Structures are given as structure tokens and as C-alpha cells.
Amino acid sequence: MKKLIIRFCNFIFGKHKNNTLPRYWILAVDMIIVIVAYIVALFMLYFKDFGASSFDWSRIWLIPVVYLITFLISRTYDGMLRYSGFNDIRKLFYACTAALSFLIISKLVIRQFSPSLARDLYPRYVTMIYHYLITLVVMIIMRFTIRRLYNEIYKNIPDKMNTLIYGAGDGGTVLMRTLSQDTKSKFKIKAFVDDDPKRAGTQINTIKIYSPKVAMTPEFIEKFDIDVIILAIPSISETRRKEIIEQGMALNLIVKSIPAFDKWVDGKIESDQIKDIKIEDLLGRKPIILGKSNVIREINEKVVLVTGAAGSIGSEICRQVMHYNPSKLIMLDQAESPMYDFQFEMNNTEDFKDKRDKMAFVITNVKDPIRMREVFEMYHPQVVFHAAAYKHVPFMEENAYEAVFVNVFGTKLVADLAMEFGVEKFVMISTDKAVNPTNVMGATKRIAEIYTQSRQSKTKFITTRFGNVLGSNGSVVPLFRKQIEKGGPITVTDRRITRFFMTIPEACSLVLEAGSIGEGGDIFVFDMGEKVKIWDLAEKMRKLAHKPEIEIIETGLRPGEKLYEEVLANEENTIKTDNEKIMHAIVRKYEASDVDAMFDKLHEALETCDPMKIVAQMKVIVPEFKSNNSIFSQLDK
């Protein structure tokens, strides 16, 4: 019998694109139902003397014509039968009710002028009501029968993954409906789990709801052979979300989630919106919500320059700045290919398409005095975000000359031009590696901080200092992903190593906020949350990838690398700002004349191209710089 049904479905659906029944077929079937329902209604009312009924059968055309018109107007035949839902039923109800209303009202009107015509042209009121009810019920049953039949035949996908939905509220219910209607879905829902104890033991469409104590156990997972858990509570707290993800990982389940409510399409979830949990979901914190008034005041209708614009931090600053309506945004970087890609992105971003005349892309190096002066003369920026820098610790240990030239004297050049051309605010992006530096890169950033903080002019210099950002170029997360994709091993320099982490958008929004509240000479540090052990990070990424066989190995600390990062030096303190996530660092201040003298000596050392002389002078400027590099550590003696 089942084979016959499959052959019938293939005959009906298989000849048409995407297995979709033509619209005119649906309309034809609906009209057959209307006609048959009319005959049935007559038979029910005139059963005793059906053959002798005085009704004129030549008038049977009227009701089908009226219903056809309402169907055409309402387009009841447009829906795909296999996806029939409440909206389709509502459309049918409105169409049929409109037809019935027209028939009754028109009969009442005609009867006022010609009772005989009304009697001959229209059936009795009760007949029309019977017909209306039969038509509506049969059409609804027909749609849901075809939907059920189609799903049973075409959803027979092998190797379905037994799925546990966490959340039996609106998110879970909508998700269940999406998966049940998607013929290509590989998820087979076995159960719900919900934190609300009142829901435990109840059902949603015959699927039982369990409490976490019952469902989130190895015994339950084994009993129902669960492969996947989908987190379907969009409004859940960040803390609870992490707990559930950790539980799922501990049970060796594939963990997925649905998007927030504002990402749903017309109140529905699409199957392709069900995403894998990423390590960022476990490391990220509760989203920081910032007021926009300060940033709007500083950026709206102003010329903004962003150096290092093609980098992970610089590019995100540019994206956020564009939302605050600058009169012009100058994006500057030396990296040609990344800059080309970024230009393409910005020019084709929907929100920025009408703002192309407000964007300028410049290729140059911040250590080039001629070209940088030309940029300032051409655009006269009012706000500068200086993100350009070399940041890879091992590389800079081997290239101290270039690190100092770009990170120190490149910053000095941009800062001097900012003062000369009357820039209102200069915001420098620093790093936590500038605190008690153990490497060349961190020391160069600290020296750049010292220079900008010592400048006293109409230009307000502000420094922002934070740790690692998730997903930034060269960060550990993309590195681990690549290693996992290649089958391992995952390399960690030291089992004890820890780092602070922050998302790129979060870090950049804090940079904009800090820049707007700074009054000059400020160094702001951000609340970086809890430190993360890199070894634990590697283990979690391995679990999320479901590749427990991949080995994690220690490779030893690289030259200049710290076991842990700090946000403040030993002698530094902080005071609170109006934003609890931004703190004002109280640091040692330098006189401009002293800084200039130190920079002259550093420049002399730079001209020798001798790494030892360069680093030696850096240690004079930053006495707390104690190198972890065996080559430079002898200078500490």
C-alpha cells in the first residue's frame, strides 16, 4: 500500500519543479470541493424527497462562481500545500466567509425587489450555511492531509540525528514547527527539556517535556540515543546559556542554538538559522550596552581618520563610526590586499551604500612623513583613531627596528601632525602587553603611550588599553580552528598560560566611548572579565569540533611571551568613570622635555639598526621592561 502511495505522490509532485503542485491544480481541486459540498448540502436538506426537490438545478452555477471570485481575490491557492499552516487556514476562512456573506446579503437585497427571482436564483439560507461549513472543513482537512502525506513520504531521510530541544517556550515551539515542516531536516525531535518545573511531564504535539535533572544525564542521552541538543531560549541569560552549553559538551552532544528574536523572519525560524555553538559563545560575556549620546557628539558630522583600518580592530572601528554619520571617514592602511577587500565590503554594505561619498580609502604607511602630511592637508581630520601597529610578539622580537619605527615613531608622526593640524581628539589603541612589558612589542606600545600622554595642546590625547580580542588577525582562536581543521595537533605554548579575551565589536564600542569621554592625557583600561586558560580553551574547541582524538601539545613559551597578561602595572591604580566597564588608569606622567630627550636617544639607537642598542634604550625609557627573550634579557643585568 505504501509503495502505491509513493508512486501516486511521485506522479502528482515529481513532475513539477521543486515537487510543487501547480497553482491551477490547487484552484481546480478547491472548486471541485465547492461543487461537491453544494450537492452534499442539498442532499442533507432534501434527503426525504431528494428526487422531487423543487429546486432548479440550472442555477447551481451561482455559488461556485461567487466562491471562485473570492478565491481569486484572496489567492487561497498560492500556498504550498506541504507547508500549510495557520495563515493558509485564515486565508481560506476569510475567502469562504466573504462568499457566504455576499450570497446572503445579495439575496436579501434582491428579495426586496423581486422575491420570485431571489427564490429561484438562490438556495435557502440554511443550505448556504451548510455548504459554507462543509466547504471550509473539507478544504482544511484536504490541505493538512496532503501536508502530512507529503512529509511522511519525502521526509524519509536516512541517518537523522536524534535531537533534544532545550526550551519549551515560544522558541522551542517555533523550532519544532520549523523542523517538522522542513522535508530536508536531519533533526528528529525526541524530547524537550525546560528549566520551568511546571512544564515537566507535559507535552507539545505528543513530544514530552523533561526537567534538566532528568534529561541532562548520561542515562537519558543513552536511552534516547540523543546526538544533538539545540538551545531554543533566545532570551536566556549569558550565565545560564554557558552552563547549558557546558552540560551539552560534557555529554558529548553536538550543541546548536537558534538566533535572538530580532533575527527571526516574520516570526519564524529558518532551518539555516540553526547554528553550531562556537568558542566565542563560551568566552563572550553579557553584551555591553553603551549610551550613544557621547559618541554621537564626538563623531557626528566630523572628519574621522582611522589608521590601521584594514586590521581587525581598525575595520570594526570604521564600521561603527559610519553608523554615527561622520562627514567623512578616512580609512588608512599600508596592507594593499586587506584594504582592497575592506573597501569592497564597505562599498557593498547595505547600510553604507548611500554613504560612499563619505568614505575615503588611503594606502600608505604611518611612518611616511611626506604621505601622512599630504593626508592631513587634504582631509583635515577632526578625530583620529590610531590603530596602526605591529602586534605579533615573536615577529617583533626578531624585528626590533621595525617595531620601534612603526609603533613608536609612526605614532609620534601621526600625533605631531594631529597637533599641527588642530585635531580635536587623538585616540590611541594600546594593549595590556604594555603593562610590565616582557617583549619588544609591549614596550613599544608603552613608549607610544608615554609620548602621547606627555603632549599638552589643544588636541586631546586618549589611550585605550585592552587585551586579546576574539577572532582578531593572528589571535589564538583562528589558529586553533585551522589546526583542528587539519586534524591537529593543537599547539599551546604552555599549559599554565592565561589570557583576557573580549569580542571585537565590544572592544571597539568601548574605544569609541572612551574616546568620547576622555579629556586629554587619559589612559583608559577596560573590564576584561575573567582570565581564560589557553589549555582549557583548546580543550573546549576540540570538544565543540567533536574531535577528541586531536592531541593538544605544549611547545614552550615563545621569545618575549608572558604566562599571563596584566591590565595595570604594579604602581598603577584606577578610578571609576561613569561607565562601569571603563576605568581611568592613574599612571606615572612624564614631562614633554624629558620625553623628547629620551626619544632623541632612541632615534639615535634606531639609526644604528642594532637590536641590542635599540632595546637597551627602550629599557631606559621603560624601566619595568624585563625581557623574556634570552637575547635581550642580558641587558637587564
Contact present, 283 and 504 (Cβ < 8 Å): no
Residues 66 and 121 in one domain: yes
Q: How many domains, in total, are found in the chain?
A: 3
Average pLDDT along the chain: 81
Contact present, 411 and 390 (Cβ < 8 Å): no
- Cell numbers at 33, concatenated: 470541493
Q: Which of 18-22, 65-69, 73-77 has the lowest mean pLDDT?
A: 18-22
Residues 270 and 304 in one domain: no
Is the model's pLDDT at 180 over the cut of 70? yes
Q: Which of 179-183, 184-188, 462-466 has the lowest mean pLDDT?
A: 179-183
Domain boundary among 250, 277, 304: 277
- Cell numbers at 277, concatenated: 555553538
Q: Grade residue 334 by pLDDT with cuts at 50, 70 and 90.
A: very high
Handedness of CA 308, 310, 313, 317 (dihedral sign): positive
| Residues pairing with 192 in the sheet | 165, 209
Q: Grade residue 15 by pLDDT with cuts at 50, 70 and 90.
A: very low
Residues 584 and 558 in one domain: yes
Which whole-number Å values give the CA distances from 279 to 230, 358, 470, 535, 632, in the listed order?
A: 16, 36, 9, 13, 36
Of 107, 256, 302, 433, which residue is the catalytic one? 433
Size (the chain), residues: 637
State pLDDT tens for residues 335-392: 999 999 999 999 988 888 888 899 999 999 999 999 999 999 999 999 999 999 998 8
Domain boundary among 228, 245, 277: 277
Q: Count CB atoms within 10 A of the CB of residue 482.
A: 10
- Cell numbers at 192, concatenated: 524537550
- Cell numbers at 43, concatenated: 442532499
Contact present, 163 and 226 (Cβ < 8 Å): yes
Is the model's pLDDT at 43 over the cut of 50? yes
Q: Which of 119-133, 257-271, 472-486 has the lowest mean pLDDT?
A: 257-271
Q: Which of 45-49, 87-91, 375-379, 607-611 has the lowest mean pLDDT?
A: 45-49
Residues 215 and 298 in one domain: no
Residues 171 and 32 in one domain: no
Q: Which residue has the cell 557628539?
A: 297
Residues 258 and 371 in one domain: no
Residues 127 and 187 in one domain: no
Distance CA 424, CA 516 (A): 11
Cis-peptide, bond into residue 489, ω within 30° of zero? yes
Is the model's pLDDT at 288 over the cut of 90? no
State pLDDT tens for residues 568-594: 554 457 667 777 777 777 778 888 899
Residues 221 and 115 in one domain: no
Is the model's pLDDT at 99 over the cut of 50? yes
Residues 271 and 312 in one domain: no
Q: Which residue has the cell 624629558?
A: 594
Q: Which of 180, 192, 189 is nearest to 155 (CA)?
A: 180
Is the model's pLDDT at 312 over the cut of 90? no
Is residue 366 in some structural domain?
Answer: yes
Query: Long-range CB contacts (< 8 A, 24+ apart) of 214-217?
Result: 215/164, 215/191, 216/247, 216/248, 216/251, 217/251
What is the residue type of 382?
A: Q
How many helices and strands in the chain, by DSSP H and E? Answer: 25, 22
Residues 479 and 618 in one domain: yes
What does 222-283 look like in DSSP terms, one character per residue? HHHT--EEEE--TT--HHHHHHHHHHHHHTT-EEEEPPPGGGSBTTB--GGG-EE--HHHHH
Angle, to 10 degrees, between the axis of helix 125-154 and the axis of helix 23-45?
A: 140
Is the model's pLDDT at 242 over the cut of 70? yes
Strands 207-210 and 187-193: parallel
Residues 137 and 234 in one domain: no
Is the model's pLDDT at 155 over the cut of 60? no
Q: In terms of residue numbers, what domain contains 114?
A: 2-154
Q: Grade residue 181 by pLDDT with cuts at 50, 70 and 90.
A: low
Is the model's pLDDT at 139 over the cut of 50? yes
Q: Residue 301: what pLDDT? A: 92
Q: Residue 182: what pLDDT? A: 67
Highest mean pLDDT among 206-215, 231-240, 266-275, 512-521: 206-215
Q: Residue 435: what pLDDT? A: 84
- Is 184 annotated in the active site? no
Q: Residue 14: what pLDDT? A: 46
Cα-flanking dihedrals φ and ψ of residue 441, to 5°?
Answer: -60, -50
- Cell numbers at 89, concatenated: 487556514
Which whole-number Å values give the CA distances from 596 to 373, 381, 456, 549, in the listed order?
A: 21, 25, 13, 56
CA atoms within 13 A on the CB side of 279: 25
Return the CATH number at 549: 3.40.50.720
Domain boundary among 127, 154, 181: 154
Residues 412 and 549 in one domain: yes
